Amino acid sequence: MTDSDQSIKVLNELLEKLTIATPETRSEIAVEISTFLNGNIIEHDAPEKFFLDLQKALKDKKTAANALSAVAHIANESNLSPSVEPFIVRILPQVCEKAGDKDKDVQKLASDTLIAIVKAVNPVAVKAVLPHLTTALENTSKWNEKVAILAAISQLVDAAKEQVALRMPELIPVLSEAMWDTKKEVKQAATATITKSTETVDNKDIERFIPKLIECIADPSEVPETVHLLGATTFVAEVTPATLSIMVPLLSRGLAERETSIKRKAAVIIDNMCKLVEDPQVVAPFMGKLLPGLKNNFATIADPEAREVTLRGLKTLKRVGNVTDDDKLPEVSHAGDIATTLGVLNGLLKSETVAPRFTVVVEYIAAVAGDLIDERVIDQQAWFTHILPYMTVFLHERTAKDILDDFRKQAVDNIPVGPNFDDEEDEGEDLCNCEFSLAYGAKILLNKTQLRLKRGRRYGLCGPNGAGKSTLMRAVANGQVDGFPTQEECRTVYVEHDIDGTHSETSVLDFVFQGNVGTKEVITAKLLEFSFSEEMINMPIASLSGGWKMKLALARAVLKNADILLLDEPTNHLDTVNVAWLVNYLNTCGITSIIVSHDSGFLDNVCQYIIHYEGLKLRKYKGNLSEFVKKCPTAKSYYELGASDLEFRFPEPGYLEGVKTKQKAIVKVSDMTFQYPGTDKPQISNINFQCSLSSRIAVIGPNGAGKSTLINVLTGELLPTTGEIYTHENCRIAYIKQHAFAHIESHLDKTPSEYIQWRFQTGEDRETMDRANRQINEDDAQAMNKIFKIEGTPRRIQGIHARRKFKNSYEYECSFLLGENIGMKSERWVPMMSVDNAWLPRGELIESHAKLVAEVDMKEALASGQFRPLTRKEIEEHCAMLGLDAELVSHSRIRGLSGGQKVKLVLAAGTWLRPHLIVLDEPTNYLDRDSLGALSKALKAFEGGVIIITHSAEFTKDLTEEVWAVNNGQMTPSGHNWVTGQGSGPRIEKKDDEGDKFDAMGNKVAGGKKKKKLSSAELRKKKKERMKKKKELGDAYVSSDEEF
């Protein structure tokens, strides 16, 4: 008898003992079987026949419990033999079946055995294990069996997380089906298992949404809100099959929702997620769920814009998934299928004599190889580690190694090549060398791009507004970029645009000290180094100008001992002196810096490299901005504002009554002084100027000189302490503040369209309603007590209600209070009837009731039909004039816009009422070079006046003709052409509006088109036509206006 025969005999004897064992003795026999099987069995012949007999014992009700005990002990063995493992996996279906047995003891044993098996098997053998479990789950009707299988799958996630992640596209549909089971226990177990399986989704961006995604599977009513939530998510981690497997159920249901807005949003997310996919095989398993929904929506959605978005998503999905013109879906790659790898392996084993009893082992090897292929594991050592122990079951080691290496080479031929990093010629210490993807909400910004940074280098980050420059910087600072060093390895500090308003009353010193960056002595020394005075260090942050706030943010960042400084528009609000200081500091501090700036001179003087956004990639160019432009001529607009191809347009201002030329003053200030309450001297004093429709004014001066204060008085945000301000009664002024985001910071969850509708829903600008020049103060109330003598009776004005033309000015309808017993104790003022209203000239009212007169002037302007309807189409067309597309305007929340896009929105909102004068405080902040060029050209072409506060000489040099130099509270004008009266130049003629007119609520105003005056011959012809009709129709004839 051979050693192999002896092994078989021993196992047969042990199995016979097992079949007749009692519950008390079966464990002991099971241990003997386990020890013997996992020992050194000669040639490993024994397991095949033994496990066939064991399967028969599992099917027999009398011996099922004993057989399960044996399987559990074999799987619990700490060193499960490679010759035994494939056979253990093969009997999984029989073990699953026993989990639904009527016998509670057998149920319990089967459930425990399932857990033992999934714990014991090789993690890379998931491809052999999981199909047995999911097939059993789908085919059984027994709830006990389903619960046991679900528990085993949960255990498998713990045992082989990375491998289960690759199987998620097949696993999630099965688990989703189980969540709809009628049995409560199955529903709960399925929910727990699907939650457990999502641990394989290694994606920080959707982690917090996973409970909502799972909830959507069980409760479809949650789909719309979850689609909105995902639309506002920043994706920075790679989107894997596991990520898609949990998101596709939501997206497919989103495409099937009744609301067009949800269908549209789902299409946008699909479109942008697909842009992150380079390998069609990642999206291939999901094409059958997404493509039909998109095609159906494109054919049925009525909204043209939503249909266009759906088409865009459809085209992207087809392109990424390699869908042919006849809409035939591409096949999912079979490179990792067990059938494919088994075919390759059997071809290599033809030269060897492999006994049929080892077929189970060969198939198991094919499953392990398939998993390695799916994981893109191609190195020889890994294959030897995971597969060689199984091959030596039936081959000698040397032969097994040779065949295995050939197997590896043939099997991995179709695996996509991994990322290839190009080495930089520049020497130095690497701070970062990573590949990552980046998205914001539903917009893909970067896809599998490389970022490599060296210590001590200065990099300029360039790209258009919305490319994702600030998003990338925040993602780096927040540790959301795959492969980027952690804060412990490399301290990265992000210098924000503006300091949070919540710190406005905190002193400069305390603000920095709160950041735990050192002692107050160290902080004070650093602030002094940054040119802060002792007085400024103890001042509240609110008292700092924009430029000093930026220097404070930079000082705080430097005190954190940063390895990398992330500077987002660091020159914003800085005057030329402080910009020069910043250039010198960055060039000498030796800290690696990534800089986003629209100041071409600054980038030229600081940067050693330019990192440019190109086609969802970051491309690095050695040299400063001018060197970059030589290598990339298409980026010429970064260097020359006029080179931008982008175009902005401002709406044409309305006609101003009495203004015949563009030189006539529409705003005039005389001897104006302003002083903040509680200060010891005026901020500005003895100011004189005037503005007209032809004004092109640059306001210049150092930080803190009073430029913004001057403009705030001009626009009515502040009232002058002394002096006179004249503004034409119908003049509209658009004012964009230095901190442009202040206009929209309370509306971040609205879309731009909703914000504009909110702002102008009453017909006037709600942002201007709280301006100081519209509020009735004590002085105004006192002045309004003026007594008028009308028709011999003393009266006070109760209200002003209407306006009409009166010679070269206007007169206003006023209602009155009648005075009785004036000057006596019993004095009283009694409201008069409306029949007693009277019309008073503007000149008599303006001194005492100027603000009430201004309100009537505004209402008259609103009623004149000069305003547009607040419809989505009208708002989208207006915003398109300033570079915002319909997608952003109507379907993206303001919170998700980039800094430049928010500035464009503020510009669009500010010019909605067709202003006569545009006032811009630091317009170069946050706008990219293309947008700056477009803005410059639009301001040149604007038919109204322009006033600009800026430190950018480049921006104003070809735009402005007049300069107001503000310093130490004084304003010195130059280049001005102030006239009295109308002045000279071309006359402005009032244009007849041929198109439809609308009031402030969007209603069409009758009589919008001027009636043409007919000649005598035309009048005679129309009379003849009327007489003819009257004769034909008799009493039925009814004339119409068009017949006259």
726 backbone dihedrals φ, ψ, rounded to 5°: -110, 130
| Predicted confidence (pLDDT) at residue 802 exceeds the cutoff of 50 | yes
| Predicted confidence (pLDDT) at residue 996 exceeds the cutoff of 60 | no
Contacts of 59 by beta carbon, 8 Å cutoff, 6+ apart: 94
pLDDT classification of 1015: cutoffs 50, 70, 90:
confident
- CB neighbours (10 Å) of residue 62? 9
Nearest to 656 by CA among 989, 302, 314: 989
Q: What would the two tokens of residue 596 be?
A: 């986003």
- Look up residue 944 and give its DSSP letter: S
| pLDDT tens-digit map of 418-434 | 433 344 455 678 888 88
What is residue 81's predicted lDDT score, i.e. its pLDDT?
83
Span 584-600, average pLDDT: 85
Q: What average pLDDT does the chain have?
A: 81
What stretches of 531-690 show up as alpha helix (H) in DSSP? 534-537, 546-559, 576-589, 600-606, 625-631
Nearest to 266 by CA among 253, 248, 254, 283: 254
Span 336-349, average pLDDT: 85
What is residue 151's predicted lDDT score, i.e. its pLDDT?
93
Most confidently modeled range among 23-32, 75-84, 244-253, 631-640:
244-253
Rounded Cα distance between 588 and 609, Å, is: 16
Neighbour-count burial of 717, counting CB atoms closer than 10 A to its CB (0-12 exposed, 13-18 middle, 19+ buried): middle
Beta bridge partners of 451: 434
| pLDDT tens-digit map of 551-578 | 788 788 778 878 888 888 788 767 777 7
Span 496-504, average pLDDT: 55
pTM above 0.85, yes or no: no
| Helix, strand or coil, per DSSP, at residue 829 | strand
More confident position, 443 or 582: 582
Beta bridge partners of 609: 459, 622
Nearest to 665 by CA among 637, 697, 643: 697
| pLDDT tens-digit map of 9-22 | 777 777 777 777 77
| Predicted confidence (pLDDT) at residue 488 exceeds the cutoff of 60 | yes
Q: At what angle do helices 872-880 and 899-910 cross, to 10 degrees?
A: 110
CB 701 within 8 A of CB 967: yes
Nearest to 276 by CA among 483, 443, 463: 443
What is residue 424's predicted lDDT score, i.e. its pLDDT?
45
> How many H helices and E strands in the chain?
41, 24
For the chain, how big is the Rg over CA atoms in Å?
40
What is residue 232's predicted lDDT score, i.e. its pLDDT?
63
Rounded Cα distance between 419 and 416, Å, is: 9
More confident position, 487 or 125: 125
What is residue 865's predicted lDDT score, i.e. its pLDDT?
45
| pLDDT tens-digit map of 919-969 | 888 777 666 666 777 888 888 888 889 998 877 766 777 788 888 888 888
Q: Which of 28-42, 120-134, 296-310, 687-701 has the lowest mean pLDDT?
A: 28-42
- CB neighbours (10 Å) of residue 1001? 12
What is residue 155's predicted lDDT score, i.e. its pLDDT?
92
What is residue 994's predicted lDDT score, i.e. its pLDDT?
46
What is residue 991's predicted lDDT score, i.e. its pLDDT?
60
More confident position, 643 or 406: 406
pLDDT classification of 1022: cutoffs 50, 70, 90:
confident
What is residue 541's predicted lDDT score, i.e. its pLDDT?
75
Span 765-784, average pLDDT: 74
What is residue 189's predicted lDDT score, i.e. its pLDDT?
93
| Helix, strand or coil, per DSSP, at residue 725 | strand
pLDDT classification of 1010: cutoffs 50, 70, 90:
low
More confident position, 809 or 406: 406
What is residue 169's predicted lDDT score, i.e. its pLDDT?
86
More confident position, 617 or 279: 617
| Predicted confidence (pLDDT) at residue 680 exceeds the cutoff of 90 | no
pLDDT classification of 831: cutoffs 50, 70, 90:
very high
| Predicted confidence (pLDDT) at residue 140 exceeds the cutoff of 80 | yes
| Predicted confidence (pLDDT) at residue 501 exceeds the cutoff of 80 | no
More confident position, 89 or 532: 89
Span 985-1010, average pLDDT: 57
More confident position, 923 or 699: 699
